[in-house]
Structure 1
Amino acid sequence: MTAPDTNVEKQARNHRGPLWGIMLCFVFVALLTVGWLVLYGDEEPGGSVGTDTNPQVTAPAGEAETAPVSD
């Protein structure tokens, strides 16, 4: 059954506020998602956990300078 009294212009006017609110929520969530992707998107997997930049530790064994051993 159809509604006996349909006034499309009145319904559009009454629903304008809630529809704008829903659209603003979608925009807000989209901005949060883009911000999250920009903030965390440039990190490499694994990050910097366990890396050491000390050249004495990372140099190959043949090229590292060692102190003379005192007897």
Structure 2
Amino acid sequence: MSAPDTNTKTQEKQHRAPLNGMKIAVGFALLLLIVWVGWEILASDGPEGAQEQIDGRTGEVEQVEGTTSEEVADPAGD
């Protein structure tokens, strides 16, 4: 059953403060989400890996720019 007397203009006036509070809370949460994602992107290191990497699109082995097999340190320390 619905309410017999509904006046949306009066209800909108009566609920203005809670509705504005909810809008502010959602806006603040979105701002925090954007800042957090931006922080994670800026704080991340570049990709690390071997001197040869596989291109995910073609499957071909590619040499990493600026490194040769002699320049890359051996992780085992041999």
TM range (shorter): 0.5 to 0.7
Query: What secondary structure does 2:34 align onto?
Result: helix
**Structure 2: gaps (5+ residues):** 49-69, 74-78
Instruction: Give the match for residue 22 of structure 2.
Output: 22
* Counterpart Cα distance in 2 of 1:33 and 1:2: 38
**Structure 1: gaps (5+ residues):** 48-57, 62-71
Aligned length: 51
Instruction: Give the match for residue 39 of structure 1.
Output: 39
Alpha-carbon shift at residue 6 of structure 1 (Å):
1.8
Q: TM-score, length-normalised on structure 1?
A: 0.55
Alpha-carbon shift at residue 3 of structure 1 (Å):
1.9
Larger fraction in helix: 1
* Counterpart Cα distance in 2 of 1:31 and 1:7: 34
Q: TM-score, length-normalised on structure 2?
A: 0.51
Larger fraction in strand: 2
Higher-Rg member (1/2): 1
Runs of 4+ aligned residues of structure 1 deviating over 6 Å after TM superposition are none
